[in-house]
């Protein structure tokens, strides 16, 4: 029975380490799949009668002149079959109207987006003419959109300390601020859930170890105990690709002539896990533990858990009607703060969140007790988000949408 649980413990912890390692992956996909190239957004704005305000999308000076990475710009020398950008090799792909699907698959195979990173550049308010506002009989035919502009920068030149991330070879994309914040909240929710699954696996293995020791199934010998941790350190420095081999080696090295299979599996556990679990123990307790006397870890937010309920914040996005403690109702929605270039919550008089009410009333009177300003601010990041996946589908679609002469359904 102990052998069975030891095997399960090792399997759990290895799978959880993989979850932990992949927790940061995929944010670029989530953002890019909901954004549009800035030129496309400008065209839509002009079509709606907002040509006077398009210039506000430019980030100023030379930064607004180079709106695409060089490999996304139209080729002027058609005899040139390939180009090099930032140490990455790209083949020129030629298109015709009769082979759009083939072009797409060829492009996926020939373009690598691993050399690029996505960065929050700015949050802007844009006024535009609205036919819907006229039809509703609103006081003004102009409405305000809050949009986030992101830059796809060459990885080597992308910097969190630079205001817009980079100054050349970039693409710019736009998305609604509510969609942007909803994606960040969903991402943090999944990231937290993966982390707490890892913590739960650590808790399971520790429980097995303690139970085994109490039953006399662990040697308790100091030399063997130290050997477990020595192998843990060796495992920590091992190449990730050789992970499984390191675990097996740790188990064999801990045998020390002892034929007790339980101890060999515990040796493998420590080799694979002890260092990582130990380093994360405080964070696990602060992030995932239940509010009771046991060291239990939840894998989802609840009233008895320390986990942050990121998903509840989405209830305040998209111009939602909220009431205060006196029975008054107004509408709340994320908005751009022009003074700080960050995103804040705003309160409005109307259901379209056009008529700002924040000068007269406090927005936090209309946000529930579960709303934390610190949490809302913490998910916003100025870091460069690497496009980790080679041939990322969303990145490829962005490329197709802004290349001249190439049209796709997604555009």
Task: Return the pLDDT at 55.
Answer: 55
Choose the weakest-confidence range: 228-237, 242-251, 327-336: 228-237
Give the C-alpha separation, 297 to 300, whole Å. Answer: 9
Look up the pTM and report it.
0.65
Give the C-alpha separation, 400 to 409, whole Å. Answer: 10
88-116: string of b/e by CB count within 10 Å (b at 16+)? bebeebebeeeeeeebbeebbeebbbbbb
- Which of 207, 210, 259, 202 lies closest to 232, judged by CA? 202
Q: How big is the chain by its Cα radius of gyration, in Å?
A: 27
Choose the weakest-confidence range: 149-153, 248-252, 369-373: 248-252
Give the C-alpha separation, 350 to 347, whole Å. Answer: 9
Annotate 126-155 with DSSP letters as a single string.
Answer: EEEE-HHHHHTT-S-SEEEEEEEEEEEEET
The answer to whether residues 402 and 138 touch, using CB atoms and an 8 Å cutoff, is: no
Give the C-alpha separation, 235 to 222, whole Å. Answer: 20
Q: Between the ranges 71-75, 104-108, 287-291, where is the mean pLDDT highest?
A: 287-291
Is 70 exceeded by the pLDDT of residue 230? no
Give the C-alpha separation, 156 to 147, whole Å. Answer: 27
- Which of 383, 377, 376 lies closest to 314, judged by CA? 376
Phi, psi of 25 (to 5 degrees): -85, 145
- Which of 92, 155, 157 lies closest to 390, judged by CA? 155
Give the C-alpha separation, 93 to 100, whole Å. Answer: 12
């Amino acid at each position: 029975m102990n052998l069975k649980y030891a095997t399960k413990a090792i399997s759990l912890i290895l799978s959880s380490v993989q979850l932990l390692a992949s927790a940061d992956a995929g944010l670029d996909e989530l953002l890019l799949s909901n954004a549009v190239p800035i030129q496309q957004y400008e065209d839509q704005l002009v079509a709606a009668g907002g040509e006077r305000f398009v210039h506000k999308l430019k980030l100023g000076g030379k930064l607004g002149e180079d709106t695409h990475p060089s490999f996304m710009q139209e080729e002027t020398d058609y005899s040139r079959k390939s180009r090099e950008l930032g140490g990455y090799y790209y083949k020129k792909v030629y298109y015709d109207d009769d082979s759009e699907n083939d072009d797409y698959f060829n492009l996926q195979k020939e373009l690598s987006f691993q050399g690029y990173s996505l960065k929050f550049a700015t949050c802007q308010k844009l006024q535009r003419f609205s036919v819907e506002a006229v039809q509703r009989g609103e006081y003004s035919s102009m409405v305000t959109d809050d949009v986030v502009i992101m830059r796809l920068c060459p990885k080597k030149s992308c910097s969190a300390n630079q205001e817009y991330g980079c100054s050349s070879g970039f693409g710019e994309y736009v998305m609604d601020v509510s969609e942007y914040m909803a994606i960040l909240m969903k991402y943090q929710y999944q990231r937290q859930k993966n982390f707490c699954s890892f913590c739960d696996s650590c808790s399971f293995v520790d429980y097995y170890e303690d139970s085994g020791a109490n039953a006399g199934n662990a040697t308790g010998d100091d030399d063997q105990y130290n050997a477990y941790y020595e192998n843990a350190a060796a495992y920590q420095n091992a190449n990730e690709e050789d992970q499984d081999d390191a675990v097996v080696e740790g188990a064999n090295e801990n045998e020390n002539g002892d034929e007790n299979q339980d101890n060999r599996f515990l040796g493998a556990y420590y080799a694979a896990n002890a260092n990582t679990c130990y380093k994360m123990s405080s964070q696990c307790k602060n992030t995932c533990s239940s509010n009771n006397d046991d060291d239990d870890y939840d894998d989802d937010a609840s009233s008895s858990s320390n986990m942050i309920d990121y998903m509840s914040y989405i209830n305040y996005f998209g111009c939602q009607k909220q009431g205060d403690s006196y029975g008054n109702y107004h509408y709340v929605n994320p908005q751009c703060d022009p003074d700080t270039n960050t995103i804040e919550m705003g309160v409005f008089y109307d259901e379209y969140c056009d008529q700002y009410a924040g000068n007269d009333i406090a927005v936090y009177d209309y946000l529930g007790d579960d709303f934390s300003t610190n949490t809302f601010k913490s998910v916003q990041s100025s870091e460069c988000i690497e496009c980790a996946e080679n041939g990322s589908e969303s990145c490829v679609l962005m490329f197709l949408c802004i290349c001249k002469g190439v049209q796709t359904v997604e555009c």
